[in-house]
């Protein structure tokens, strides 16, 4: 008898069916009662999505520094989401309870933002004044602390987000200041100098960290054909340099950001710069080298008090604005 083909269906019936994995319903999106640092938003999201709560917290912190998106999302979810009762059910909240939560969140967020802004300013200031190594040591210590508590499950979820936030708040401003090559002295306040002889001018120039620097050169004995060299450097604030109207202003002025008004020539914005050309007459000359990181620098034939009272406003003055008048005067004095 010819061999009959085997019935494969019988063998298939005898095979044990593979067990199917049943996926339970996803937990509803609620604020976690047990896994929380502040209001349980990250813990609730992690439970709902099946992610690590630590990664969710770090994501909130990092996205906060991109337009505040992370902070805004966290606040909205903290107000909108009810709390988990521990069994996956929302805890009912009254209108007054929600209102109280909104007020509390606003107060705490305001305090946190003030603290973060303060840390950022301190970090930027320390780096700009030559103490960036201190900031680097603090950030490195925070990194070592993160590694040290990585194995401590009981405190990791509560401490890591704060350490990451502190590291970012300190590190980002310091890195930005260093990358922009911003540096100045740590002196603060108002400085006013009125030299009467050339010997009174400091060899290394005038220098101020933050505040207002006034250098009134109108009392110097300016002689025909004489060139007097003056340099002035400032970090943040306003610098006013006054010279007689008969003096031709030469030299170079620059700013990382702000406004330069140099004997009638105006430049403002980022990397502002003014170069004054050579003199073609025998008028007394000021060879000026001025640098300011952020703020306003004014070289003028006006009294410093007049410029100060006008708060740097060089608006209309007769038929010409003040800087236009000085530009016309410089053309005549310098022969340009």
In this model, does residue 7 exceed pLDDT 70? no
- Report, as an integer, the average pLDDT of 46-68: 77
CB 179 within 8 A of CB 154: no
SS percent in the chain: helix, strand, coil, step 5: 45, 25, 30
pLDDT band at 271 (very low <50, low <70, confident <90, very high): very high
pLDDT band at 4 (very low <50, low <70, confident <90, very high): low
Q: Coil, strand, or helix at residue 285?
A: strand
d(CA 220, CA 189) in angstroms, rounded, equals: 25
Q: pLDDT over 70 for what percent of the chain? A: 85
pLDDT in tens, 30-44: 887 777 777 788 888
pLDDT in tens, 81-104: 788 777 777 777 777 777 777 787
- Report, as an integer, the average pLDDT of 102-116: 80
d(CA 336, CA 330) in angstroms, rounded, equals: 8
pLDDT band at 314 (very low <50, low <70, confident <90, very high): low
In this model, does residue 179 exceed pLDDT 90? no
What pTM was estimated for this model as a whole?
Answer: 0.67
Phi-psi region of 110 (alpha: psi -120 to 50; beta: other; left: phi over 0): alpha
Looking at the chain, list the stretches that DSSP marks H as alpha helix, in order from N- to C-terminal side. 8-14, 41-49, 53-64, 69-80, 95-128, 132-148, 153-179, 304-309, 322-334
d(CA 205, CA 247) in angstroms, rounded, equals: 19
In this model, does residue 24 exceed pLDDT 60? no
């Amino acid at each position: 008898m010819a061999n009959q083909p085997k019935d494969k269906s019988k063998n298939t019936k005898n095979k044990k069916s593979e067990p199917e994995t049943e996926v339970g319903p996803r937990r509803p999106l609620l604020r976690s009662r047990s896994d929380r640092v502040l209001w349980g938003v990250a813990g609730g999201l992690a439970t709902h999505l099946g992610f690590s709560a630590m990664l969710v917290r770090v994501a909130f912190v990092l996205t906060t520094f991109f337009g505040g998106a992370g902070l805004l999302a966290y606040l909205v979810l903290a107000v909108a989401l009810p709390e988990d009762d521990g069994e996956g059910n929302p805890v009912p909240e009254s209108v007054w309870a929600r209102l109280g939560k909104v007020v509390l969140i606003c107060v705490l967020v305001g305090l946190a933002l003030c603290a973060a802004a303060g840390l950022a300013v301190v970090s930027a200031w320390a780096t700009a004044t030559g103490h960036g190594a201190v900031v680097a040591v603090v950030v490195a210590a925070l990194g070592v602390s993160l590694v040290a508590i990585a194995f401590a499950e009981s405190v990791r979820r509560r401490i890591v987000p704060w350490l990451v936030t502190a590291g970012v708040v300190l590190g980002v401003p310091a890195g930005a200041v260093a990358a922009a090559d911003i540096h100045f002295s740590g002196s603060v306040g108002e400085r006013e100098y009125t030299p009467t002889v050339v010997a009174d001018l400091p060899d290394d120039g005038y220098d101020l960290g933050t505040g207002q620097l006034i250098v009134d050169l109108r009392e110097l004995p300016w002689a025909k054909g004489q060139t007097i060299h003056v340099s002035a450097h400032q970090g943040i604030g306003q610098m006013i340099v006054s010279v007689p109207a008969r003096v031709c202003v030469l030299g170079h002025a620059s700013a990382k950001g702000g406004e330069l008004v140099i004997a009638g020539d105006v430049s403002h914005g980022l990397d502002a710069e003014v170069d004054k050309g050579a003199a073609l007459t025998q008028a007394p000359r000021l060879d000026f080298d001025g640098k300011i990181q952020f703020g306003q620098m004014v070289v003028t034939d006006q009294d410093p008090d007049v410029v100060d009272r006008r708060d740097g406003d060089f608006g209309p003055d007769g038929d010409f604005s003040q800087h236009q008048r000085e530009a016309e005067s410089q053309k005549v004095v310098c022969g340009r």
